[in-house]
Amino acid sequence: MTWWRDAVCYEIYPRSFADSDGDGTGDLPGITRHLDHVRDLGADAIWITPCYPSPLADGGYDIEDHTAVADDLGTLQDFTALTVRAHTMGLKVIVDVVPNHSSDTHPWFREALAAGPGSAARERYLFRAGRGPQGAAPPNDWESAFGGPAWTRVPDGEWYLHLHAPEQPDFDWRDAQVRAEFSRVLRFWLDQGVDGFRIDVAHALFKAEGLPDAGPGQHQDPARNHLMPYYDQEELHPLYREWRSLLDSHPAPAGAVAPRERVLVAEAAVFEPARLARYVRADEMQQAFNFAFLEAPWRAPELRRVIDESLAATAAVDAPVTWVMSSHDAARPPTRLGGELRAASAALLMLALPGAVYLYQGEELGLPQAHIPDDRIRDPLWRRSDGRDRGRDGARVPIPWSGDQPPYGFTTAAHEACWLPQPEGWSRFTVAAQGEDPDSMLSLYRRALRLRREHPVAAHGTLHWHSPADASYLAFSRAELTCVVNLGSEALHLDGLGLLGQPVLASTVLPERGTLPVDACVWLSTATDGEDRRTARP
């Protein structure tokens, strides 16, 4: 079996993980120093979000140079040291590739602005004349995913497309130089020893020929994303086939211990399961984040439908589902789902499902969404929504490692010097505090990951439901493990429902044997003697 099919990958947001040089910003040496946390958690891989030179108009997803390291994060040597250390610990390393757009400070975009209308330099991006008198209206009705029009006019009168912030001009993927450049980018990082790539907005690179209007209601209902003329176009798939064969054929770097299968994971906001499955056909990417699971409400029938549809769609192309309930773009689960207990139960549910999993730094600590004061918000969503949307910074604050007050061991700098402020009152969330507490979220994640390893069940093996489709709880078995989640409003009596087995892990203290409280989840083993997480230490 290939390693990525049931791997647990840990997402690291470098500026917020750990600061090694006391400037208040997390950096690559900080990651290297704290990799033991990821190893002790029991993850198989790390994914590092963009660490490339960037003016930070969108948290580093506005890239000036795709093959270098940002000064505040370190050097290419630091990147190598990180990769070597990770590999020594048995962790794979995945990096972010952002092929849809560059920063507006990228040399190609500067060149395009300087060269003017009709120039070859403009063909790498999507420059167009406007509509109406003097071309004063945008070329079409497309809206930015961050709010407002997706077009910005330049002084010579032309408009350029940006599906995100104006500082993120979209490339024209029909241009041969763009295609060649990203093959170079992939090869460059493969030569640095990486094990794969997370492809940013993988559903957006190609725009429909002629740039037709998209109509009303854009970015309102994600279920319609695949119908938009700027998303999910057919031309994406030959490109991903090309990249897959590049990964499969590119020689391993000198000194690599053994050839490893390298992966592509799609960040494709496509919610129609059959459309999403097309990104993970046998000769395309291996994984695609399952955002339908992240977006699902805390209700049993909806969650069950998402699980069933996702498993069926990926089984049809012989790929795993890649589960995710947290990322640098999503509200933290305890806040989103309505409490820590639900977040713990959702995690146990996710970790019991067949397939691969991505965790996001701080998820294992049960961090809630932090409140960021108005004058410290960095996310462009805040400005572009005229202050209606506080954006994603509340999920991006620096990790609390130890101690009783901010910056909780994240940096040696003063709290005020942190690039994003941590809230007061997080001392109970620190890695140090939780590591010693057998009932903490961190201990729960560690045990869950260990059990996943110790009781490997075929990653794409079948899941057998015990709960009826319309029940207010979820219960299913995979081989010798039964997972039960109570999403209803009354305690569940497991024996009465015929749900047998020894509790091996639970999201909370189980008050009495055979009873599952509201919002709780339990793993039952029909094979082992059992280990109740509240009564027995590992």
User: Where in the sequence numbering do the catalytic residues fall?
Assistant: 200, 267
Q: Report the C-alpha gap between 509 and 357 in whole angstroms.
A: 25
Selected from 92, 106, 162, 164, the binder of ligand GLC by CB under 6 A is 164
SS (H, E, C) 25-86: CCCHHHHHHCHHHHHHHCCCEEEECCCCCCCCCCCCCCCCCCCCCCCCCCCHHHHHHHHHHH
In the complex, the smallest distance separating the C-beta of residue 59 from ligand GLC, rounded to whole angstroms, is: 6
Dig out the tokens for 460 from the structure: 């794409």
Check residue 58 for interaction with Mg ion (CB under 5 A): no
- Nearest residue to Mg ion, scored by beta-carbon proximity: 27
Nearer to ligand GLC by Cβ, of 58 and 158: the residue is: 58
- Nearest residue to ligand GLC, scored by beta-carbon proximity: 61
Given a contact cutoff of 8 angstroms between Cβ atoms, the answer to whether 102 and 171 are in contact is yes
Beta bridge partner(s), residue 170: 101
Q: Report the C-alpha gap between 282 and 248 in whole angstroms.
A: 12
Check residue 51 for interaction with ligand GLC (CB under 6 A): no
Selected from 23, 123, 191, 308, the binder of Mg ion by CB under 5 A is 23
Residue 19 binding partner per list ligand GLC, Mg ion, none, with a CB distance cut-off of 5 to 8 Å that depends on partner kind: Mg ion
Selected from 6, 11, 19, 44, the binder of Mg ion by CB under 5 A is 19
Q: Which stretch binds Mg ion (CB under 5 A): 15-23, 204-212, 354-362, 450-458?
A: 15-23
Q: Which helix (H) or strand (E) holds 112?
A: helix 107-115
Nearer to Mg ion by Cβ, of 27 and 104: the residue is: 27
Check residue 200 for interaction with ligand GLC (CB under 6 A): yes
In the complex, the smallest distance separating the C-beta of residue 130 from ligand GLC, rounded to whole angstroms, is: 24
In the complex, the smallest distance separating the C-beta of residue 419 from Mg ion, rounded to whole angstroms, is: 9
Beta strand ranges found along 392-536 (DSSP E): 464-465, 473-478, 481-486, 492-493, 502-506, 515-516, 521-525
Check residue 25 for interaction with Mg ion (CB under 5 A): yes
Check residue 161 for interaction with ligand GLC (CB under 6 A): no
Site for ligand GLC in 255-284 (CB under 6 A): 267
Check residue 332 for interaction with ligand GLC (CB under 6 A): no
Residue 25 binding partner per list ligand GLC, Mg ion, none, with a CB distance cut-off of 5 to 8 Å that depends on partner kind: Mg ion
Residues that bind ligand GLC (rule: CB under 6 A) add up to a total of: 10
Residue 21 binding partner per list Mg ion, ligand GLC, none, with a CB distance cut-off of 5 to 8 Å that depends on partner kind: Mg ion
Check residue 61 for interaction with ligand GLC (CB under 6 A): yes
Check residue 78 for interaction with Mg ion (CB under 5 A): no
Nearer to ligand GLC by Cβ, of 323 and 429: the residue is: 323
Residue 200 binding partner per list ligand GLC, Mg ion, none, with a CB distance cut-off of 5 to 8 Å that depends on partner kind: ligand GLC
- Verify cis geometry, omega within 30 degrees of 0, for the bond prior to 139: no
Check residue 21 for interaction with Mg ion (CB under 5 A): yes
Dig out the tokens for 484 from the structure: 């039960």
Check residue 295 for interaction with Mg ion (CB under 5 A): no
Angle of CA points 330, 332, 333, to nearest 5°: 105
Give, to the nearest 10 degrees, the angle between helix 340-352 and helix 441-454.
10
Mapped onto helix, strand or coil, the DSSP state of residue 406 is coil
Other C-beta atoms closer than 10 Å to the C-beta of 391 total 20
Residue 27 binding partner per list Mg ion, ligand GLC, none, with a CB distance cut-off of 5 to 8 Å that depends on partner kind: Mg ion
Q: Which of 233, 428, 447 is nearest to 352 (CA)?
A: 447
Q: Which of 464, 524, 535 is nearest to 494 (CA)?
A: 524
Check residue 309 for interaction with Mg ion (CB under 5 A): no
Provide the mask over 201-220, with x wherever binding to ligand GLC is found by CB under 6 A and - wherever it is not: x-------------------
Beta strand ranges found along 165-316 (DSSP E): 196-199, 263-266, 287-290
Dig out the tokens for 229 from the structure: 């003329």
User: Which residue type sits at 125?
Assistant: Y
Backbone angles phi, psi at 107, to 5 degrees: -55, -35
Site for ligand GLC in 92-131 (CB under 6 A): 98
Contacts of 367 (CB under 8 A, 6+ apart): 332, 334, 397, 400, 426, 429
In the complex, the smallest distance separating the C-beta of residue 328 from ligand GLC, rounded to whole angstroms, is: 6
Q: Which stretch binds ligand GLC (CB under 6 A): 40-48, 53-61, 71-79, 483-491?
A: 53-61
Strand 127-128 versus strand 92-97 pairing type: unpaired
In the complex, the smallest distance separating the C-beta of residue 408 from Mg ion, rounded to whole angstroms, is: 16
Check residue 377 for interaction with ligand GLC (CB under 6 A): no
Instruction: Give me the residues that bind Mg ion (CB under 5 A), please.
Output: 19, 21, 23, 25, 27
Instruction: Give me the residues that bind ligand GLC (CB under 6 A), please.
Output: 58-59, 61, 98, 164, 200-201, 267, 328-329
